[in-house]
């Protein structure tokens, strides 16, 4: 299945949040008459899986692979750039080079969705999840660094982590056979 704005599923003409994506997955599960499922989410898909698990009884377990959802550590340089951008914009000055490369590749309502999603934390969702959770993470992940895995591990009461040395943000593609074996073994315990 694809999410709104990905693959063949069009994005509506208004910005969405993580909850909207979770609702879309819930609707598909209900349409397919799924009583429960193990959700596997990579990166943004992990955000969606976390929200759905926090809000629905349709999730029996989670596998989060290099998942997003933990607010990044940001220093003074980041906040200075944001402040300068806002000042220039308020003064009507032209602002160049603002926003990430991911943001700048988007258009229309998808830009609004991106802003909403990246500024949303899934940590409150973690406190509501009682189901088993497997965290599968690349030690060298630069997009969702290992500290995010550790934070999720502490917040998710029924979780285990598998960290892959030498793997990055796409750890499951870098070590597909190992990922398959680990996920299969995890599912057998549920």
Domain that holds residue 48: 18-73+121-188
The CA–CA distances, whole Å, from 74 to 77, 81, 135 equal 8, 11, 23
Per-residue pLDDT of 32-82, as tens digits, reads: 999 999 999 999 999 999 999 999 999 999 999 999 999 998 889 888 888
Task: Answer whether residue 166 is part of any domain.
Answer: yes
CATH label of the domain that carries residue 44: 3.40.50.1820
Task: Answer whether residue 78 is part of any domain.
Answer: no
Structure tokens at 86: 């806002």
The CA–CA distances, whole Å, from 176 to 39, 171, 173, 189 equal 18, 8, 5, 20
Q: The sheet that has 37-42: what strands, in order across it?
A: 37-42, 59-65, 133-138, 159-164
Is pTM beyond 0.85 here?
yes
| Number of domains into which the chain is organized | 1
**pLDDT of residue 99 exceeding 80:** no
Tell me how far apart the alpha carbons of residues 158 and 190 are, in angstroms, rounded to a whole number: 12
Structure tokens at 99: 């926003």
State the number of CA atoms in the 13 A half-sphere of 53 facing the CB: 31
Structure tokens at 65: 């692979």
Task: Answer whether residue 8 is part of any domain.
Answer: no
Instruction: Provide the 8-state DSSP code for 143.
Output: S
Task: Answer whether residue 40 is part of any domain.
Answer: yes
Per-residue pLDDT of 116-145, as tens digits, reads: 999 999 999 999 999 999 999 999 999 999
Task: Answer whether residue 100 is part of any domain.
Answer: no
Task: Answer whether residue 13 is part of any domain.
Answer: no
- What's the mean per-residue pLDDT of the chain? 93
């Amino acid at each position: 299945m694809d999410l709104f704005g990905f693959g063949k599923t069009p994005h509506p003409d208004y910005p969405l949040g993580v909850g909207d994506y979770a609702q879309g997955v819930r609707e598909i599960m209900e349409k397919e008459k799924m009583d429960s499922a193990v959700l596997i989410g990579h990166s943004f898909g992990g955000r969606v899986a976390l929200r759905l698990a926090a809000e629905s009884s349709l999730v029996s377990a989670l596998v989060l692979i290099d998942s997003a959802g933990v607010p990044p550590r940001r220093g003074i340089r980041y906040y200075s750039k944001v402040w300068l951008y806002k000042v220039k914009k308020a003064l009507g000055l032209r602002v160049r080079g603002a926003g990430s490369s991911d943001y700048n590749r988007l258009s229309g309502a998808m830009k609004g969705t991106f802003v909403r999603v990246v500024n949303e934390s899934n940590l409150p969702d973690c406190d509501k999840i009682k189901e088993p959770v497997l965290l599968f993470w690349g030690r060298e992940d630069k997009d969702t660094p290992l500290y995010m895995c550790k934070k999720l591990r502490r917040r998710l009461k029924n979780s285990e982590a598998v960290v892959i040395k030498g793997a990055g943000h796409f750890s499951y593609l870098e070590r597909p056979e190992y990922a398959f074996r680990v996920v299969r073994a995890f599912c057998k315990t549920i």
